[in-house]
Amino acid sequence: MAIFDELVTQSLFEGLNAEEISKLASYIEDRKYSKGGFVFKEGDLTSGIYMVNTGKVEIKRKLQLDTKTKMVIMLRNIQSDEVRHTSHGWENRFATIEKGQFFGELSVIENRRKHSAEAIAVEDSHLFLLKASIFSELEVLSPTTMVKVMRAIAKNMSSSVRLLDKRILKALMGN
């Protein structure tokens, strides 16, 4: 299967026509990660926007919790694995990204030099990367195409805000 056929299924390119996707395809890099491999770690330099072609990636951040907060988490017995204790300490899982979804966009849009979370392949994964520097170039070279890409990012962020709202309500209710 040609990269074009795979990029058509990516939500980041939702709304783009075949010509626009073909042009972007030349800028996309293939990346492969084994299960348990880091796509990036907290503090790593921002690479760009990653799109999942196959596999799954978890986005999470290590938490520095005091004893009181740890006790509250354990006492509430939250029925989720969003905040969990691992052999590496406490962490908060923000999302699991699957086929057709993307991540890393916030660091690119906010022009951050370093990632504020980590991304780990939870399955063997094949990802596409649109580098941050290319993203910036395309904003100038293909503004109409990039408006469509930004619309897809905004749609994804809107969905994430709604999900966060539900998570906060769930945490407040203790369910």
Query: Hey, CA dihedral for 4, 41, 160, 175, is it positive or negative?
Result: positive
Residues 65 and 79: their CA atoms lie apart, in Å, by: 19
Domain 3-173 listed as CATH 3.30.70.380: no
What is the per-residue pLDDT for 123?
97
pLDDT grade, residue 16 (50/70/90)? very high
Domain boundaries, the chain: 3-173
What percent of the chain shows pLDDT beyond 70?
A: 80
Q: What is the DSSP letter of 114?
A: B
Alpha-carbon dihedral sign for residues 1, 36, 128, 17: positive
SS3 70: helix
Lowest mean pLDDT among 69-78, 146-155, 160-169: 69-78
Task: Tell me the mean pLDDT in the region 69-97.
Answer: 63
Query: Would the pTM count as exceeding 0.85?
Result: no
Read off the pLDDT band of 14 (50, 70, 90). Answer: very high
User: What integer is the mean pLDDT of 97-109?
Assistant: 94
CA distance 18 to 99: 20
pLDDT, mean of residues 77-86: 56
Across 26-101, the runs of DSSP E, i.e. the strands, are: 29-33, 38-40, 48-54, 57-62, 83-86, 89-97
pLDDT recorded at residue 71? 53
Strands 38-40 and 29-33 turn out to be unpaired
Higher pLDDT, 163 or 159: 159
Residue 160 has pLDDT above 50, yes or no: yes
pLDDT level of residue 83 (50, 70, 90 thresholds): low
Give tens-digit pLDDT for 38-57.
Answer: 999 999 999 999 999 999 99
CA dihedral (35, 133, 7, 25) positive or negative: negative
Could you tell me if 108 and 137 are in contact, meaning their C-beta atoms sit under 8 angstroms apart? no
User: What pLDDT score does 79 carry?
Assistant: 47
Average pLDDT over residues 163-169: 73
C-alpha span between 121 and 50 (Å, rounded): 12
